[in-house]
Amino acid sequence: MKSSVIANVVEHDLCIGCGLCAALCPQDVLSMQWNRYGEYNPVEMTPCTTECGLCAKVCPFSDTGENEDTIGEQLYGAVPGIRHRPETGYYLASYVGYSEEHRPTSASGGMATWLLEALLTEGVVDHVICVAPTGDPERLFAYQVFDTPEDVRTGAGSAYYPVEMSGVIRHVLETPGRYAVTGLPCFLKAIRLAQQRNKKLRERIVVTVGLVCGQLKSRHFTEYIAARAGVQGDVAGVRYRGKSPDHPASNFYFSFTAADGEEHKIFWSEGIAEAWTNRWFTPEACNYCDDVFAECADVTCMDAWLPEYSRDSRGTNLLLVRSPAVREVLERGQGVRLDPIPVKRVIQSQAGVVAVKRRHLAYRLYLDRDVPEKRVVPERPKNPLLRQEVVLKERMRVLSRDRWGAGERDAEHLREAIGPDLWRLGAGRQISKIITFPVRTLRYIRRKVGGNNHG
Ligand SMILES: Cc1cc2nc3c(=O)[nH]c(=O)nc-3n(C[C@H](O)[C@H](O)[C@H](O)COP(=O)(O)OP(=O)(O)OC[C@H]3O[C@@H](n4cnc5c(N)ncnc54)[C@H](O)[C@@H]3O)c2cc1C
């Protein structure tokens, strides 16, 4: 049987495009390129002659025999005071907070950028690898290596756009030093798998900063939303997390720069939410991810999607810390507001993502296909509305991905084609609200009588 990542992962449409395979290939035969869905995949430029299989062994979606629990155990299992929950993986401490200075340009509370800058200024690392705009319409964002806090700040904000790490990982292999790297859960899992097999990566990547992730989006997602915002032709630049004092943090906006220099703005509630939450333009691999909280990261940053914080348009972070060294940097924090918060609240803040990567995943695995083993057991949910939700969202995901991938790039037509499924999903939600109304009311009364039990 072929052991390559192309045969085992890419040909099964399970590649997330992280690029670790291309960076580590001893023969250097893999190159990361756009596929027709606007996602990155490795392409074999010249035939592989050794079939060493290293490319598959560092792939987060291949059958390596490792998962986020086994990797997390090796990394953090022996840390004094460490705890573990099935939803979060290992954690040492959890915080809520922000950096007032970084909030205006950052996605949420600016803690990720603050931390990366602090790691540099305190001499914990020599270089930071994070994602920043490129100015190239063919590749709007890319992983880059920065050596100063000023440069790191150019990467502030979330890139809901494909990026790949082959170039920066090759740089780490060639250039000694200590690096901090940001990444989505699957990207950091790939780094950890690579570190198990490569001493230079083990020694040089000394801090990993994870981001909670509901799903990655293809390049076509940006094109679709830009079209909804009124952009005609190419997008020259995009900022995904604009903040407006008139809106809560949860209703942020995307602002696009069109090729003619004109700016176009669209709020989350004006069409982004519908495409985001219904999984339009989401890669197939995301259907089989069971890591919400970037369990292989030394620290994970996320939005504080809790009512008491999400009303504040300036943005607030929650953080889960696994590394004692990172906790020290955070606790010394100058210019940041950081308070402990129970891990239960952190999990609650991501309830939607936890449902998708647990209950929905269980049904997708039950329905679907032969994928490498997950930590979630395949199961058919009893609730027919939940089953309907999973099936409808999958149909929308496939339709959006296939149509745009086939060159049918008309945003209005796509929305019309998806319309009936959107309607069915909305009707299902209404029915669910009516059915669960008595249960929710009872819970509310119990909470009021029993007091706050968020401990
Ligand atoms: C695809 C995606 C999905 C997400 N889903 C969720 C979610 O469901 N729930 C939630 O709470 N949070 C989610 N996040 C994380 C959230 O958007 C913020 O990144 C997080 O709250 C940190 O905010 P901050 O203000 O501290 O970060 P900032 O100070 O803005 O810094 C963010 C850092 O992350 C880097 N970065 C940005 N995009 C990427 C990327 N694609 N890959 C690697 N590094 C990157 C930047 O270069 C920067 O260094 C997601 C992020 C992404 C990119």
Each residue's pLDDT tens digit, 374-396: 999 999 999 999 999 999 999 99
39 found inside a domain: yes
Q: Is 62 helix (H, G, I), strand (E, B) or coil?
A: coil
- Structurally, the chain folds into a number of domains equal to 1
Judge whether 3 and 64 are in contact, CB under 8 Å. Answer: no
What atom of ligand 1 comes closest to residue 304's alpha carbon? 11
140 found inside a domain: no
Judge whether 95 and 340 are in contact, CB under 8 Å. Answer: yes
Judge whether 283 and 17 are in contact, CB under 8 Å. Answer: yes
User: What is the distance in A from the centroid of ligand 1 to the CA of 160?
Assistant: 8
Predicted local distance difference test score (pLDDT) of residue 450: 56
User: What is the distance in A from the centroid of ligand 1 to the CA of 187?
Assistant: 13
363 found inside a domain: no
CA distance 203 to 274: 43
- Measure Cα distances from 438 to 52, 387, 432, 447, 452 in Å: 59, 22, 11, 14, 20
Phi/psi of residue 305, nearest 5 degrees: -80, 65
Q: Is 145 helix (H, G, I), strand (E, B) or coil?
A: strand
Predicted local distance difference test score (pLDDT) of residue 452: 40
Which residue shows structure tokens 């004092």? 245
User: What is the distance in A from the centroid of ligand 1 to the CA of 184?
Assistant: 8
9 found inside a domain: yes
Predicted local distance difference test score (pLDDT) of residue 451: 46
Of the candidates 304, 155, 181, the one whose C-alpha atom is nearest the C-alpha of residue 240 is: 155
Q: Specify which residues 447 forms β-bridges with.
A: none
30 found inside a domain: yes
CA distance 217 to 227: 16
Q: Give the domain extent around 50.
A: 5-57
Q: Specify which residues 255 forms β-bridges with.
A: 239, 265
Pocket-forming residues, ligand 1, beta carbon under 6 Å = 102, 106-113, 116, 130-132, 155-160, 163, 182-184, 211-214, 216, 301-303, 305, 317, 350, 353
Residue with CA nearest ligand 1 atom 24: 110
Residue with CA nearest ligand 1 atom 16: 302
Residue with CA nearest ligand 1 atom 42: 183
The residues of the chain scoring below 50 in pLDDT are: 1, 451-455
What atom of ligand 1 comes closest to residue 128's alpha carbon? 49
Rg over alpha carbons for the chain, rounded to the nearest Å, is: 22
Question: Which residue out of 158, 253, 309, 319 has the highest number of ligand 1 atoms within 8 Å of its CB and is therefore the one to mutate?
Answer: 158
Residue with CA nearest ligand 1 atom 37: 158
Residue with CA nearest ligand 1 atom 8: 214
17 found inside a domain: yes
Predicted local distance difference test score (pLDDT) of residue 36: 97
CA distance 394 to 317: 30
Which residue shows structure tokens 């990207």? 187
Largest CA distance in the chain: 70
CA distance 220 to 217: 8
In the chain, the amino acid numbered 96 is V
18 found inside a domain: yes
User: What is the distance in A from the centroid of ligand 1 to the CA of 42?
Assistant: 24
87 found inside a domain: no
DSSP β-ladder status, 139-146 and 205-211: unpaired
Predicted local distance difference test score (pLDDT) of residue 370: 81
CA dihedral (397, 160, 24, 126) in degrees, to 10, reads -160
Backbone dihedral region of 374: left (phi > 0), alpha (psi from -120 to 50 degrees) or beta? beta
CA distance 374 to 13: 17
User: What is the distance in A from the centroid of ligand 1 to the CA of 107?
Assistant: 7
User: What is the distance in A from the centroid of ligand 1 to the CA of 440?
Assistant: 32
What atom of ligand 1 comes closest to residue 152's alpha carbon? 49
Question: Which residue out of 184, 208, 211, 353 has the highest number of ligand 1 atoms within 8 Å of its CB and is therefore the one to mutate?
Answer: 211
CA distance 18 to 92: 27
What atom of ligand 1 comes closest to residue 302's alpha carbon? 21
Predicted local distance difference test score (pLDDT) of residue 454: 38
